[in-house]
Amino acid sequence: MDLCDRITPAESEIAEMPTGHLGNRASVPAFLDDYALLLEAQTEVFLQVPDDRCLVLIEAIVSTVTRRFLDASGGFRLSHPGHGSPVESLVVYTDDAQPSGNAVLADTLARLGYVLGRTDWLELAEGVLKAAAGSIDRAPPAHPRLLSAIRHFQQPATVVVLKSCELSVWQSAIDRLRQRGVTVLPTASETLFADKPMPESGPGLAYVCRGTTCLPPIDDPERLVAQFT
């Protein structure tokens, strides 16, 4: 059993996920914040160990959130009609005891959008940031996570996508870069990061990317590390 199996429900359960259980009885349907935090947790797993199953679950969460919670303003509502709640149309941007669901979504969708080249997810993140602009202007200190999301959206981090069937050859380079805080995404999957081809021969290729721009691929671990010295 891997990390994806341990921390996420089955894909078929995503759409009907409750906030929790009391004994064997499910509580009310999950709210926006529940889905946002699940998406963030699943994203952290994916960024450590890229996996096709993790990505399928990430896509299912984003699809469910967009279908059930997206507001005409570009933000996301706290609840949906299935809750039968008087706060169905409430859109919250300020942080409380935990970050707002909108802030977590915008931040996570921005990171995923750049890593996966998903412009539709970047557009969703940008929609939240634009919708929240007035709220941020009125009280910036009440929006720390949204301010972080703006930074990640406007200044995306550099990531390394590593496509190789011989990942052990790259392990020392992966460890050294991660120690420096660089996000490295190693995979032997041909379907993941399909816009970055798997080499037909050799030890593999490393793609150093920032935002939507990537440098020419690198086929040597030491040359890869040298890019960050």
pLDDT in tens, 63-103: 999 999 999 999 999 987 766 665 557 899 999 989 999 99
- How far is the CA of 183 from the CAs of 95, 136, 177, 207, in angstroms? 27, 29, 8, 12
8 A C-beta contact, residue 129 and residue 63? no
Residue 78, token pair as written in the block: 């706290």
pLDDT at residue 154 greater than cutoff 60:
yes
Q: Tell me what the mean pLDDT of segment 104-123 comes to.
A: 96
Tell me what the pLDDT averaged over the chain comes to. 88
pLDDT score of 182 more than 90: yes
Query: How many Å apart are CA 24 and CA 2, to the nearest integer?
Result: 26
Report pLDDT for 10: 53
Residue with the bigger pLDDT between 1 and 147: it is: 147
The pLDDT value given to residue 124: 98
Show the 3-state SS of 75-110: CECCCCHHHCCCCCCCCCCCCCCCCCHHHHHHHHHH
Residue type at 226 in one-letter notation: A
The average pLDDT across 36-47 equals 95
Res 141 pLDDT > 60: yes
* Residues ≥6 apart with Cβ < 8 Å to 45: 3, 4, 7, 8, 51, 54
Q: C-alpha dihedral over 63, 66, 68, 69, to 10 degrees?
A: 150
Q: What is the pLDDT of residue 7?
A: 47
Q: Are 88 and 80 in contact (CB under 8 A)?
A: yes
User: Residue range 153-181: average pLDDT?
Assistant: 95
Task: Output the pTM of the full model.
Answer: 0.87
User: Does 203 score more than 70 pLDDT?
Assistant: yes
Q: Quick one: DSSP state of residue 25?
A: E
Report the candidate in 190, 172, 193, 181 with the shortest Cα–Cα distance to residue 228: 181
Per-residue confidence (pLDDT) for residue 217, from 0 to 100? 96
